[in-house]
């Protein structure tokens, strides 16, 4: 059986409309997995499962003849589709940069769910997270790692002062781990051993998450084109992410090198 994402816009909102749609799916032997109430722009979204793709084709043909609804999308579900059904809203994606996703702090639950789904996928994935200090970047990354049942490994961080790692130990090299960098601290470290570790980890076919990616690439061999996803997290929608302030916000205390974090 295969899953499908169905999205339709309600044109005539009358009692029993959802029941009619559900009955039609039932007659075509299409199972409803998850359904959400009306979301943005008077649209309803659902995930369905069909034994044969022809059942979905028949539903599409019939639904397009109904005056009460306009069928907007019917396709194999993408990550954004699943989140729309789960949370009843679409995550914001840049129209000019398809890698860029925007969240505000009140959306932390959706952000954690989004990153958790990315973390569950296998293979190399480089994710950049932009945002001002204390907006919840690190907390969201760690929470998403827990949700995905993945171990997280800090290579550089301001969580315990300004700290960088020069080597990892044992199963910390496991590609199933989530590797986390703070771009500001890594850039400032000026430690060749640390940068060598960064290069080693970047070559591992796993998930790497870099806070402040723009500052990370500023003085490195990496570019923004290397990133698969860029996530922006703001306290409010109109908050400006200012890199001059970010660099000044991190105190110029000595950066500590550690072989392992005490947790």
Check if the beta carbon of residue 191 is closer than 8 Å to that of residue 164.
yes
Q: Average pLDDT for residues 123-129, to the nearest whole number?
A: 96
Instruction: Express as a percent the part of the chain with pLDDT over 90.
Output: 71
> Is the same domain home to 9 and 124?
no
With a CB cutoff of 8 Å and minimum separation 6, the contacts of 179 are 152, 153, 155, 201, 204, 206, 207, 208, 209
Last residue of a domain, one of 84, 105, 129: 84
| Same-domain status, 117 and 209 | yes
pLDDT on residue 249? 53
**110/56 same-domain check:** no
Range of the domain at 49: 2-84
pLDDT at 245 exceeding the cut of 70:
no
Domain count, the chain: 2
Q: Rounded to the nearest 5 degrees, what angle is found at the Cα of 184, between the Cα atoms of 228 and 253?
A: 160
* Pair 18, 134 in one domain: no
Which is higher by pLDDT, 95 or 26? Answer: 26
Confidence of residue 83 (pLDDT cuts 50, 70, 90): very high
In this prediction, residues 14-42 reach a mean pLDDT of 89
Residues 10 and 136 in one domain: no
Q: How far apart are CA 34 and CA 210, in angstroms?
A: 33
Phi, psi for 129 (deg, rounded to 5): -125, 115
Res. 219 pLDDT band, cuts 50 70 90:
confident
- Give the CATH number, domain containing residue 131: 3.40.50
Confidence of residue 255 (pLDDT cuts 50, 70, 90): very low
| Measured CA distances, 163 to 60, 195, 246 (Å) | 56, 13, 17
Domain for residue 60, yes or no?
Answer: yes
Same domain, 73 and 162: no
Radius of gyration of the chain (CA): 22
Residue 146 lies in a domain: yes
Question: What's the confidence (pLDDT) of residue 173?
Answer: 93
């Amino acid at each position: 059986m295969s899953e499908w994402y169905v999205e339709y816009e309600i044109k005539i909102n009358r009692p029993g409309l959802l029941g009619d749609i559900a009955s039609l799916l039932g007659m075509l032997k299409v199972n409803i997995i998850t359904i959400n109430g009306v979301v943005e722009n008077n649209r309803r979204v659902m995930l369905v499962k069909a034994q044969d793709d022809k059942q979905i084709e028949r539903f599409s043909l019939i639904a397009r003849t109904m005056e009460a609804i306009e069928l907007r999308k019917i396709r194999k579900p993408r990550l954004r589709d699943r989140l729309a059904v789960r949370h009843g809203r679409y995550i914001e994606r840049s129209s000019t940069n398809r890698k860029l996703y925007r969240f505000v702090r009140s959306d932390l639950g959706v952000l954690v769910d989004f990153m958790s789904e990315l973390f569950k996928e296998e293979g190399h994935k480089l994710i950049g997270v932009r945002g001002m200090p204390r907006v919840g970047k690190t907390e969201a990354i760690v929470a998403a790692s827990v949700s995905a049942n993945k171990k997280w490994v800090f290579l550089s961080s301001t969580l315990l002062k300004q700290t960088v790692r020069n080597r990892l130990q044992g199963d910390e090299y496991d590609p199933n781990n989530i590797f986390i960098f703070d771009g500001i601290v890594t850039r400032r470290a000026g430690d060749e051993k640390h940068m060598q570790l960064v290069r080693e980890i970047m070559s591992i076919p796993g998930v790497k998450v870099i806070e402040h990616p723009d500052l990370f690439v500023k003085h490195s061999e990496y570019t923004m084109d290397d990133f698969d996803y860029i996530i922006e997290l703001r306290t409010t929608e109109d908050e400006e992410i200012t890199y001059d302030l970010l660099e000044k916000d991190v105190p110029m205390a000595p950066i500590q090198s550690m072989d392992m974090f005490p947790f």
